[in-house]
Structure 1
Amino acid sequence: MISIQQLELLNTRSDVVIATRSATMAPSVCWSMGGHVAEDRKSATVWTRRDHASQATADIASNGWIAAVFTVPFTNFSLQLKGQDARVRAVDATDAALLERHVSNMVRELRLVNVREAFARAAFDQCPDDLVAIDFTIHSVFEQTPGPRAGRTVEPSP
């Protein structure tokens, strides 16, 4: 589903927004501090502030459904990854290392769109104790880059 080139963009140049739904289909959306797609391109983890994601984490506990949109700020390249088995857990040392690298990447990426480093760090450099990790198996992938292909399913890739 996700190509090697797309994997690199998702893991080094993207910010992330997640969406969930309640049992009554009410949506919840929240901004994430970052995300990481596994090298096998079959699973992903996103990190979000616990205090901003209470409804999203409750939805996930209830039904496991998640959509995570990874977007490269400079180009608006976007992919939506959907999962049906999301699980919320505490952030661990591996997550903290990935988050630290993500902050540096986002500072660099946002500089390309004239966002100052202090603002980027304030937005992305969060204490791991204030975050939760959400793991999920990637069930489907959709193109979300603005344009004629937006909404189309991304076909499996070698």
Structure 2
Amino acid sequence: MLDSDNAAFIQTGVSISLAASGGDRLPSMSRGLGCKLVDGGRQVAIFIKPSQSVELLDNIRRSGRVANVFSLPSSNRTVQLKGLDARILPFEVADLPIIEAHITDFLAEVLPLGLPEEVVRTLFAYTADDLVMVVYTPVAAFSQTPGPKAGEALDAKP
């Protein structure tokens, strides 16, 4: 579903939001602390804090449907992925370097924009025992970068 450019993009210093909705169709959302591709690049894994994501995780357990947004603060380049088979897996401590690299990359993005490092570090503060991995197969991908192509499917031809 993702070409190599977009696959690399979602694993950089992007802002990551993972969302789902309940039976009432009201959305729930949480900030992702990093991303990796699994199953040979066919699936996306997002690291989140369950202590801040109770409703989101409940909605994922009920439906498996997710929307995932990746946005680069310096350019507003934004990609949205959707999945129908999301599942919640235990966090693997071997993935801590991915989260640390994500925080470092995100800091490099937002510090030049004037966001204080302390704010970013507070937003991304975590403990390994308060992490899970949400894994899903993207079934749709869209450009959500502001402008005339916002909402266009990534596989659409110009």
Name the TM-score, length of structure 2 as normaliser: 0.89
Alpha-carbon distance between aligned partners in 2 of 1:74 and 1:85, rounded to the nearest angstrom: 31
CA displacement, residues 65-110 of structure 1 (integer Å, 9 cap, x when unaligned)? 0011001111110001111110112211232221111111111111
Alpha-carbon distance between aligned partners in 2 of 1:38 and 1:23, rounded to the nearest angstrom: 29
Could you say which residue in structure 1 is the equivalent of 2:87? 87
What is the aligned residue count?
157
Superposition pairs for residues 9-158 of structure 1, below 5 Å? 9-38=9-38, 40-155=40-155
Alpha-carbon distance between aligned partners in 1 of 2:147 and 2:19, rounded to the nearest angstrom: 21
Deviation at 1:29, TM superposition (A): 2.0
Deviation at 1:39, TM superposition (A): 8.6
Deviation at 1:23, TM superposition (A): 2.5
**What is the RMSD computed on CA atoms of the aligned residues?**
2.0
Alpha-carbon distance between aligned partners in 2 of 1:85 and 1:40, rounded to the nearest angstrom: 17
Alpha-carbon distance between aligned partners in 1 of 2:121 and 2:39, rounded to the nearest angstrom: 26
Name the TM-score, length of structure 1 as normaliser: 0.89
Superposition misfits of 4+ residues, deviation over 3 angstroms: 37-41
**Aligned AA (1:31):** R
Shift in CA distance, 39/72, structure 1 to aligned 2, threshold 3 Å: farther
Alpha-carbon distance between aligned partners in 2 of 1:109 and 1:38, rounded to the nearest angstrom: 25
SS in 1 for 2:62: helix
CA displacement, residues 22-71 of structure 1 (integer Å, 9 cap, x when unaligned)? 13322212222232334944211112221221111001111100011001
Alpha-carbon distance between aligned partners in 2 of 1:7 and 1:20, rounded to the nearest angstrom: 22
Alpha-carbon distance between aligned partners in 2 of 1:93 and 1:130, rounded to the nearest angstrom: 11
Deviation at 1:6, TM superposition (A): 2.2
**Aligned AA (1:91):** F
